[in-house]
Every structure is written in structure tokens, then in C-alpha cells.
Amino acid sequence: MNLEKLSIIPLEIINDELIKQLLLKLEEIFELTTEQITWDSVTQIEKFDFKTGQRYRSTELINYFSTNIPEKTNRILFITTSDLYSPVFARYYGEAQLNGNVGIVSTFHLKENIREESHNSVILLSRLKKEVVHEVGHLFGLTHCPDPNCVMNLSGKACDIDIKSSSFCLNCSELLKNTTPTVQ
């Protein structure tokens, strides 16, 4: 029986079907139990307490929830449409604790360079799935991979996300097996 549970917490209203697809992808790859929960169900703190202007202070949010994780869940992944702020990074798609229990992914920069409106949702979903798997990979101890096709490869631009696979390379798959006995 798998005791790992990951909760996705949308920070804004995000399409339920999109969240459902992310949960299914994570269950498939990491063999986790997943659920969507609300911000209000885990804390009394206001979301704007973690914002500067329109940007979430991702490191601060992650650090707070790493010591205040809700009962009956092992890991949290926040999803936001807002930009992220970190004193270390100028522009990024997400952040997660290495071998930790909290991460965040933003769709803000994932929307860049999508030229045709008809492809917008398909490309955005593909990018979002890859970034969600990438950040959860960090939670399970995976670092950035030099293989440009591996989902753990660091993406500097949105087009880099389009190039890489939504799967782990053989090396990262092996590392993941060795750190999480439930992952195949």
C-alpha cells in the first residue's frame, strides 16, 4: 500500500480539468495518491502575505509550508498563474525543496512564445505537465540533468520545455527508483 500523498493547491481559480490531468500524470509517474485541496483548508494565513505586488515569494512560501504541512499529506505542490519572485532567480517556472515536501509551479512564463491561439491550451498543458513532474522530481531528490531530453533538464526558456520529454532519462529513472521504492 502506498502511503505517499501529494496535494495540489491552486493559488487562483484554475480549470478543474487541468488540475485533474496534472493529478493523473503525477499518480502515473510517481505512483502517489493525489488530491486537490484548497488554500483555506490548510492555513488561516492570507495568500497575499506571500506576495510582493503581483508575484509570489516562492522560497518564503515553500519554507513556511515545509514546517506547517497539513495532516494526512506528505507533499504539497502549489499551482499559480502569477509570476514568482526569488532573490536568486530572475525568471523561472517553479521551485521545490530538494528531498523536501513543498514546491510551486507557475504558468506565468509557460505561456510565452505560443503563437497560435488554437494551440495555446495544448502547448500550455504540455509545458505545465513537464514542469510539475520536474518540480516533484526535485521533491524526490532528483537534481537537474544534463540530458536535454530528460524532464529534469533545466529549462531557461519556454521553448526548452517544448524540446524535452515528459519522462525521466534512464539515469534519472534509476536514481528515482533508488530513492523512492514505490516508483517503477
Answer yes or no: pTM beyond 0.75. yes
pLDDT per position as a tens digit, 102-128: 999 999 999 877 765 555 778 889 999
pLDDT per position as a tens digit, 43-76: 889 998 999 999 999 999 999 999 988 777 789 9
Residue 101 within any structural domain of the chain: yes
Residues 6+ apart with CB under 8 A from 67: none
DSSP 121-148: HHHHHHHHHHHHHHHHHHHTT----S-T
Q: State the catalytic residue, choosing from 28, 31, 60, 135.
A: 135
Residue 184 within any structural domain of the chain: no
Active site residue 4: no
Q: What CATH number has the domain bearing residue 79?
A: 3.40.390.10
Instruction: Tell me how many domains the chain contains.
Output: 1
Residue 88 within any structural domain of the chain: yes
Residue 102 within any structural domain of the chain: yes
Residue 96 within any structural domain of the chain: yes
Residue 47 within any structural domain of the chain: yes
Full domain range(s) for residue 65 = 5-179
Helix crossing, 120-139 with 16-30: angle to 10°?
Answer: 40
Residue 120 within any structural domain of the chain: yes
